Amino acid sequence: MTALLGFILSNPTVIAILAGVIGIVAALFKGRIDGAAKERQKRTEERLKARDIADDIDDAVAGRAPAANREELKRWGK
């Protein structure tokens, strides 16, 4: 076991290959983390947009009779 480890650590080609593999794995993990953060940001923006629309609807409905509310909401339902 010690001889094998000594061979791996003394051979520059094997070290270079291992460094390349470690670099590729690190780049893949970094990409996955960045992709997840981008997706979270996208969903947050969608939720904010939906909340703004809901607030607009609530403002449009506030203080009216049910018949007036139905008329006002017809344009939101399209």
The three-state DSSP-derived secondary structure of 10-51 is HCHHHHHHHHHHHHHHHHHHHHHHHHHHHHHHHHHHHHHHHH
User: pTM, whole model, 2 decimals?
Assistant: 0.49
Is 45 or 73 the better-scoring residue by pLDDT? 45
Which candidate, 59, 56, 61, 58, places its Cα nearest to that of 71? 61
Please identify which residue in the block is written with the tokens 């650590």.
Answer: 9
Please identify which residue in the block is written with the tokens 């997840």.
Answer: 36
8 A C-beta contact, residue 60 and residue 76: yes
Please identify which residue in the block is written with the tokens 């983390």.
Answer: 33
Query: Where along the chain do its domains lie?
Result: 2-74
pLDDT tens per residue across span 59-76: 777 777 777 777 777 877
